[in-house]
Chain A
Amino acid sequence: MNTDSTSAALAADAQLIQAIRAGDERALSRLYRLHWPMVSHFVLQNSGSEDDARDVYQEGVMVFYEKVREGSLELSCLIKTYLYAVCRRLWLKRLTTKSRLHGVRLLDEEEYGPYLNTGAEDDLLEAEERDRRFATMSEALTHLGEPCRSLLEGFYLLDKSMLDLTAEHGYTNADTAKTQKYKCLARLKKLFFASYKEA
């Protein structure tokens, strides 16, 4: 790859990241379609199925997307290389947990260049931590019981207004519903921190 095409690709990448950060769904869609063949090929090459490839790729794109949205992505290479590194790492992890054979060896494509030192490792650790937090939260919500769960999910996850929720749950007025919400929040806090801290 010569310098011209590299810098052109870098410029295109920067543009794409800009668009995605601004919340352009079509840019994300373009990115998604652009790199799917690479990852799907990689996973299929390394004893995975089409579904595995999809899961791994979505996970990888998610890591990338969240970093972009946060604005904390420090990209020292092409998006392609970054995604390859992330998906490679994810698939390697799945393979090692799936098979009892330790020391899985992956077939790599030379053209995606040095997939090391892309910062993907750190980003993945971060993403793992976040995943754990979300998993704990999801569990805490499940253990919360009704009506607290649907009240909080309605408010925080589904973006319903307090008025809607008041009507839905049959509270006399919005204030009662609010009071109820705060009580639920206090209970959620106990459940969440109890399992999150101990884990």
Chain B
Amino acid sequence: MQTEADYYALFEAYQQGALAAPERASLEARLTAEPRLQQLYTDYLELTSTLHDYAERRRTRRTIGALHTAMLAADATVEEAPALKATVNPRLRISRTEQRLREFWGGHRATVGVAASVAVLAVFGTLLGLEAYRTANTPSAGGYQKLRLEMAQIRHSQQALINKVNTRLPGAEVPPVRESKYGGTGFALTADGYLVTSAHVIQGADSLLVEGRDHQRFHAETVYADQKHDLAILRIKDADFKTFGKLPYTFKAGQADLGERVYTLGYPREDVVYGEGALSARSGFDGDTAFYQVSIPLNPGNSGGPLLDAQGNLIGVVNGRDKDVQGAAFATKSSYLVRLVDSLKNRQPAAAYHLPHLNQLAGAGRPQQLKRLQDFVFVVKVYE
């Protein structure tokens, strides 16, 4: 019995053609006849061919490896020879560190880009978020409300009324009414046509219309607006205007006292509305000493209304309220109004400001005071 090794010797000789003719014939015959021997031969072939291929592969690998080295070497010589600079690979010589940096950049630039964008977004998101949070929590922006009346609120109901009238009177043409955009209150400063209101009431005004209790209308123009103290001086433009009549109140140049009973008249709606309360602080919103705090319930439209004490001295001009605090309204102190009139007098000596000197309200009962007062309080309508 032959061993496997003996068969291998036989196979090798057979493959190399070193077997004599009869031996070869007998082997071929046995290979076809014996499956075991056939299997052995197949395995032998696979083994040796694998070995040969493996040898071939190792050679190829070496060859290709050498090709790469040769290529790099050739590139290096090309790079070193200055005359041949612009040949195959016109790459400039770069240092090892730069090479690394370039590789890093080439490999990670997408990641770096994403990281940078995230960082930028995070920074701006945080900044804007904080800013928004701060503004949302700052009391000054949210709390203070200027009491200018936006006519759009009441326009709807007004329109409904007009419609009702139209349907009642078929055929009666109603001229289109141009409605004012904003409204406020104003009061007479002098008998000869100067008025006072709040500066924010007339802000952005194209034209102003002043309307009294008796529905008499005057066109007015702005003489001066003091945004800081929220005061505005208007003058009646109409040629046929003569006088308001003698003003019954005087302007207090000093400060009013804490706890004084005060009241105001204003036009938060179509009719004049009376409001009463006490002077609750001698400083206004956020501690602003140009204003008083008063405990009078006020509404949009009250802005620019007169604030009077029990004796009928005008002590302030109503202009706003604190939305966050119950019953806290604000009024500009009359001393600032007096000072403003003085400075206007100095600037334009031609225009005379005859402030009233005689208080006709002192000592009268409140209804009598109001009866006299309401002729000097007006609606200020603002058109844009």
Interface of A is mostly: helix
Q: How far is the CA of A163 from the CA of B221 in the complex (A)?
A: 126
User: Does B70 contact A49, Cβ atoms closer than 8 Å?
Assistant: no
With A28-B67, A157-B54 in contact, is A186–B5 under 8 Å at CB?
Answer: yes
Instruction: For B5, give the chain A residue with the smallest CB separation.
Output: A182
> Is A82's beta carbon under 8 Å from chain B?
no
User: Does B53 contact A179, Cβ atoms closer than 8 Å?
Assistant: no
Q: How far is the CA of A37 from the CA of B63 in the complex (A)?
A: 19
8 Å CB contacts to B: which residues of A141-182? Answer: 152, 156-159, 178-179, 182
What's the least CB distance linking A76 to chain B, in Å?
24
Interface string of B96-128 (1 = CB under 8 A from A): 000100010011101000000000000000000
> Is A54's beta carbon under 8 Å from chain B?
yes
Instruction: For B75, give the chain A residue with the smallest CB separation.
Output: A33
What's the least CB distance linking A42 to chain B, in Å?
11
User: Does A58 contact B68, Cβ atoms closer than 8 Å?
Assistant: yes
Contacts of A65 in B (CB 8 A): 60, 64
Contacts of B61 in A (CB 8 A): 58, 62
Contacts of B57 in A (CB 8 A): 62, 66, 130, 134
With A47-B108, A65-B64 in contact, is A183–B5 under 8 Å at CB?
Answer: yes
Q: Which of B9, B48, B64, B74 is the most central at the interface, judged by chain A CB atoms within 10 Å of its CB? A: B64
Q: How far is the CA of A100 from the CA of B68 in the complex (A)?
A: 31
What's the least CB distance linking A5 to chain B, in Å?
20
Q: Which of A65, A134, A185, A188 is the most central at the interface, judged by chain B CB atoms within 10 Å of its CB? A: A185
With A54-B68, A58-B64, A134-B53 in contact, is A189–B47 under 8 Å at CB?
Answer: yes
What's the least CB distance linking A195 to chain B, in Å?
13
Q: How far is the CA of A61 from the CA of B5 in the complex (A)?
A: 38
> Is A119's beta carbon under 8 Å from chain B?
no
With A183-B5, A192-B50 in contact, is A29–B107 under 8 Å at CB?
Answer: no
With A45-B106, A192-B50 in contact, is A185–B63 under 8 Å at CB?
Answer: no
User: Does B107 contact A157, Cβ atoms closer than 8 Å?
Assistant: no
Q: How far is the CA of A122 from the CA of B79 in the complex (A)?
A: 39
Instruction: For A133, give the chain B residue with the smallest CB separation.
Output: B50
Contacts of A158 in B (CB 8 A): 55
User: Does B54 contact A50, Cβ atoms closer than 8 Å?
Assistant: no
- Number of chain A residues close to chain B: CB under 8 A: 42
Instruction: For B57, give the chain A residue with the smallest CB separation.
Output: A134
- Number of chain B residues close to chain A: CB under 8 A: 38
Q: Which of A37, A45, A58, A182 is the most central at the interface, judged by chain B CB atoms within 10 Å of its CB? A: A182
> Is B58's beta carbon under 8 Å from chain A?
yes
User: Does B103 contact A44, Cβ atoms closer than 8 Å?
Assistant: yes
Partner of B103, one of A33, A50, A156, A159: A50
Contacts of A159 in B (CB 8 A): 55
8 Å CB contacts to A: which residues of B228-243? Answer: none
> Is B76's beta carbon under 8 Å from chain A?
no
Partner of A137, one of B9, B50, B107: B50
Q: How far is the CA of A66 from the CA of B64 in the complex (A)?
A: 12
User: Does A182 contact B8, Cβ atoms closer than 8 Å?
Assistant: yes
User: Does B58 contact A157, Cβ atoms closer than 8 Å?
Assistant: yes
User: Does B5 contact A48, Cβ atoms closer than 8 Å?
Assistant: no
Q: How far is the CA of A179 from the CA of B106 in the complex (A)?
A: 58
User: Does B55 contact A157, Cβ atoms closer than 8 Å?
Assistant: yes
> Is B71's beta carbon under 8 Å from chain A?
yes
User: Does B47 contact A192, Cβ atoms closer than 8 Å?
Assistant: yes
Instruction: For B47, give the chain A residue with the smallest CB separation.
Output: A189
User: Does A62 contact B60, Cβ atoms closer than 8 Å?
Assistant: yes
Contacts of B63 in A (CB 8 A): 25, 28
Partner of A32, one of B9, B44, B55, B67: B67
Contacts of B71 in A (CB 8 A): 29, 32-33, 36
Contacts of A183 in B (CB 8 A): 5
User: Does B64 contact A32, Cβ atoms closer than 8 Å?
Assistant: yes
> Is B216's beta carbon under 8 Å from chain A?
no
What's the least CB distance linking B255 to chain A, in Å?
75
Q: How far is the CA of A69 from the CA of B50 in the complex (A)?
A: 16
Partner of B51, one of A28, A33, A54, A152: A152
> Is B43's beta carbon under 8 Å from chain A?
yes
> Is A193's beta carbon under 8 Å from chain B?
yes
Contacts of B356 in A (CB 8 A): none
User: Does A156 contact B68, Cβ atoms closer than 8 Å?
Assistant: no
Interface string of B1-43 (1 = CB under 8 A from A): 0011110110010000000000000000000000000000001
Partner of B4, one of A54, A156, A186: A186
User: Does A185 contact B47, Cβ atoms closer than 8 Å?
Assistant: yes
Q: How far is the CA of A130 from the CA of B53 in the complex (A)?
A: 9
Q: How far is the CA of A58 from the CA of B110 in the complex (A)?
A: 27
Interface string of A39-61 (1 = CB under 8 A from B): 00000111111100010011001
> Is B52's beta carbon under 8 Å from chain A?
yes
Interface pairs (18), CB distance under 8 Å: A28-B64, A29-B70, A33-B88, A44-B106, A58-B68, A66-B60, A134-B50, A134-B54, A134-B57, A137-B54, A156-B52, A156-B55, A179-B9, A182-B8, A185-B5, A185-B8, A186-B5, A189-B44
Given A48-B107, A182-B9, A185-B47, 9 more pairs with CB closer than 8 A: A28-B63, A29-B67, A32-B64, A32-B68, A58-B61, A58-B65, A62-B60, A156-B51, A185-B44
Q: Which 6 A-B pairs have the closest CB atoms?
A: A182-B5, A47-B107, A182-B8, A156-B51, A186-B4, A157-B55
